Amino acid sequence: MTDVLIIGAGIVGASCAWRLSQAGLSVKILDRAAPGSEASQAALGVLTFHGRPDTMPEPMRMLARKSRDYYPAVIDELEEVVGERVYFRQEGQLILGINEDDLASLEETLSVNLDEGVELERATPEEALILEPNLNPEIAGALYSPNDGWVDNTALTQAIVRAAQQAGAVFEQAEVDSIEDNNGQIASVRAGETLYESDWVVLAAGAWSGQIWNVPVKPRRGQAYSVEGSYFERVIHSPRAYIVPRDNAQTMLGATVEDVGFNASNTPDGLGFVSKGAFEISPTLETSKFSGAWAGLRPGTPDDLPIIGSTTDFPNLVIATGHFRNGILLAPITADAVRRIVVGEVPSFDLAKFSPDRMSLRR
């Protein structure tokens, strides 16, 4: 019997395990595979709040901004606890309009963000090229967001796992089949012949969450690849692709968003799509040296918002999934919310908008 049983040891589940163990609770976390081996290692680690209204609807922008601003403190604390560096950079982001048609979306992004008091400024193509000389010299326009950045999501997830273990969380390999209820309470979690009993259960099984409980989470495949060499200082976004630097002289290029079920393969078509978008940003990359490709399954939801909170029918079941394209960015704020729910504190943001009971999730 534990205080909290967490299903899924991706960045979301591991972050919850860290925060809940720190709060003095006994925590067990079940994963069928090695911690951090699914979407959390396939991500590119972009920590940007670019607020494009079409790709990041409210209330996501509020949540994304809050979590991004929380990141520096989380990294400091984590590095202190595990005694290792987690590669994290806040060098800003350029959001590009490659052609004249992209400019309307840039202007909309600028006006929405300025209305919300977000730091974002126009940069002329010349100014953007001074910041990043490897950009396509033909770009039509740019915005500069000074406080965005990136993190090495693989190193980060492994550091969070170690911090959780140091705080007392127990990681166990087990494939969960179901969550079992009894008279309006979650009573146990079944994995094969084993029943795990716990006061609280947190469902954080990423794209597979809907196989374990009735949540409308669907896999959305993302394909990405890397090339050798350092071409950019900061994250570069266009409407069709994005490029993320790393400290180890690698450059990451992403990403597709595809509905192909639980299929995490790379395809020539997917990588071709990424190349097309990335080469618009920087034709220099066309002759760079390819160093590896991968794909992962993001946990998507019908309204593209994460599902965070207790269910009305089962108050001791907390859902923490559906983070779609922003699970790395949102893991710290999600874990903080889950800890507060379990220990009975008021969450730091309005959870109703992300509730498992919200209308758009009913089916």
By the criterion CB under 6 A, which residues form the site for ligand FAD? Answer: 7-13, 30-33, 37-40, 42-46, 175-176, 204-208, 212, 222, 224, 254-255, 296, 298-299, 321, 323-329
CB 175, min distance to ligand FAD, A:
5
Tell me phi and psi for residue 118, to 5 degrees.
-90, 140
298 close to 207: Cβ distance less than 8 angstroms: yes
67 close to 330: Cβ distance less than 8 angstroms: yes
Q: Which is nearer to ligand FAD, 334 or 355 (CB)?
A: 334
CB 315, min distance to ligand FAD, A:
22
Q: Which is nearer to ligand FAD, 20 or 204 (CB)?
A: 204
Q: Which is nearer to ligand FAD, 253 or 285 (CB)?
A: 253
Alpha carbons 226 and 85: distance in angstroms, whole number:
22
Q: What is the DSSP letter of 23?
A: T
Q: What is the DSSP letter of 347?
A: P
Q: Which is nearer to ligand FAD, 266 or 284 (CB)?
A: 266
CB 67, min distance to ligand FAD, A:
9
Q: Which is nearer to ligand FAD, 13 or 239 (CB)?
A: 13
Six-digit token string for 263:
């299929």
CB 64, min distance to ligand FAD, A:
9
Q: Which is nearer to ligand FAD, 224 or 278 (CB)?
A: 224
Alpha carbons 322 and 315: distance in angstroms, whole number:
19
C-alpha distances in angstroms, 175 versus 36, 159, 183, 242, 296? 15, 23, 25, 34, 19
CB 137, min distance to ligand FAD, A:
26
CB 125, min distance to ligand FAD, A:
25
Which residues, other chains included, contact 133 with Cβ-Cβ below 8 Å and sequence gap of 6+? none
